[in-house]
Amino acid sequence: MPIFLWLFLLIVLPHIELFLMSLKYENDMGDMVWSLQNYGEFFAEEIYWLTFIRVALYSILVTFLTFVITFPIAFYITKIVSVKYKGFLIILLLMPFWVSELVRVYGWMILLRESGVINYFLQALGLIDKPIEMLYNDVSMIMGLVYTSMLFMVVPLISSLDGMDDSYIEAAHDLGASKIVIFFKIVIPYTAPGIVSGSIVVFMLTLGNYLTPNLMGGKNSLWFTEQIYNQFIASFNWNQGAAFGFLLLILSSFIIWLGLKLTKQNLTKALS
């Protein structure tokens, strides 16, 4: 019963209200009527659905890059480093995430801005003549999104790799398997639930992120959550904002379902 109440009151009920709100539209007479007009305006405006597609593709890219960066780290901690140093290295991984995302993003902004640390050292070494603007573009935004999501990928990977018996790798190596074959035939299949679990969390967090794209992205790096924010706060159009929010929910659910089908993984097993 407590689990049911938690799911219903905090997840199901708000989304039902969100959906009902998205179906209400104010007509020319100022009356609220039931209509799909809010969804129709999404497809009518090119900037809305182009941003929608762009955010989906970038979220998939960020998820992939996060996996590529964190997997070697997780493998090193669980399979290579001495056991007595494992806890210390995990604490080092967790320490940056003891502060808020806002502080971490501003830290990257201090590093990358024209008067920042990186430009200072590049000029001091004579590598550049004048500061380079490294902020407010898609590259810096993706880098910030990867950094803020790394913890949620590396922890499931460490958990999965830590449970894998090293004798599997040793046996494959003794039988003449190459490192590439061992990686794709043994390591990846064994850690697939952890990979899927981390990918789902990173994808959802990236898709719904507002702070990092807003601070590190440029004027052309519009994120869909910013459009939702503008509808709710700037335009006071809660019905249109609810429609956008529900479309974002549909998009994330569809991509996660597609990813589970392609990887032949079970959601319950991946998140357990």
Q: Give the highest mean pLDDT range of 90-99, 106-115, 198-207.
A: 198-207
Host H or E run for residue 223? none
Check residue 235 and give its pLDDT.
84
- Cα 198 to Cα 271: distance, rounded to the nearest angstrom: 9
Query: In which residue are the tokens 């392609």 written?
Result: 262
In this predicted model, what pLDDT tens digit does every residue of 8-49 receive, in sequence order? 988 889 889 889 999 988 877 777 788 888 898 888 888 888
- Does residue 67 surpass a pLDDT of 90? yes
**Phi, psi of 234, deg, nearest 5:** -75, -45
Q: Which of 136, 114, 112 is nearest to 218 (CA)?
A: 136
On whether the pTM is more than 0.85, the answer is: yes
What mean pLDDT comes out for the span 132-159? 90
> With contact defined as beta carbons under 8 Å apart, do 142 and 69 qualify?
no
What pLDDT is stored for residue 1 in this prediction? Answer: 86
* Domain covering 41-271, topology: MetI-like fold (1.10.3720)
In whole angstroms, give the CA distance from residue 28 to residue 12: 32
- For residue 144, the number of C-alpha atoms closer than 13 Å in the C-beta half-sphere is 31
| Closest among 74, 244, 54 to 142, alpha carbons compared | 54
- In 10 A of CB 181, how many CB atoms? 13
Q: How far is CA 72 from the centre of its chain?
A: 19
Identify the pLDDT of residue 267. 67
What is the band of 204 on the pLDDT scale with cuts at 50, 70, 90?
very high
- Give the mean pLDDT of 4-10: 89
In terms of phi and psi (left: phi > 0; alpha: psi -120 to 50; beta: otherwise), the region of 229 is alpha
Of the pLDDT bands very low, low, confident and very high (cuts 50, 70, 90), residue 198 is: very high
Q: Which residue type is seen at 163?
A: G
- Hey, CA dihedral for 154, 156, 160, 162, is it positive or negative? positive
Better-predicted residue by pLDDT, 116 or 68 = 68
pLDDT in tens, 96-127: 888 888 899 998 988 888 888 888 888 888 88
User: To the nearest whole number, what is the mean pLDDT of the chain?
Assistant: 88
Tokens of 163: 């449970």
Q: How far apart are CA 137 and CA 221, in angstroms?
A: 7
Dihedrals phi, psi of 113, to nearest 5 degrees: -70, 170
Residue range 45-64, pLDDT digits in tens: 888 888 999 999 999 999 99
**C-alpha to C-alpha distance for 207 and 196, rounded to whole angstroms:** 16
Torsion of CA 149, 193, 262, 169, to 10 degrees: 110
Query: Tell me, what's the pLDDT at 153?
Result: 94
Decide if pLDDT at 201 tops 70. Answer: yes
The alpha carbon of 15 is separated from its chain's Cα centroid by a whole number of angstroms, namely: 21
CA gap 194, 234 in Å, rounded: 40
Q: Which of 90, 98, 102, 103 is nearest to 154 (CA)?
A: 90
CA 98 to chain centre: 18
Name the band, by pLDDT with cuts 50, 70 and 90, for residue 168: confident
What pLDDT is recorded for position 263?
78
For residue 116, what pLDDT is reported? 84
Q: Give the domain ranges of the chain.
A: 41-271
φ/ψ of residue 93, rounded to 5: -65, -35
What confidence tens digit (pLDDT) does each residue in 230-272 have?
A: 888 888 889 999 999 989 988 888 888 888 888 777 766 655 5
Question: What pLDDT shows up at residue 157?
Answer: 93
Query: How far apart (Å, rounded) are the C-alpha atoms in residues 73 and 3?
Result: 35
Decide if pLDDT at 154 tops 70: yes
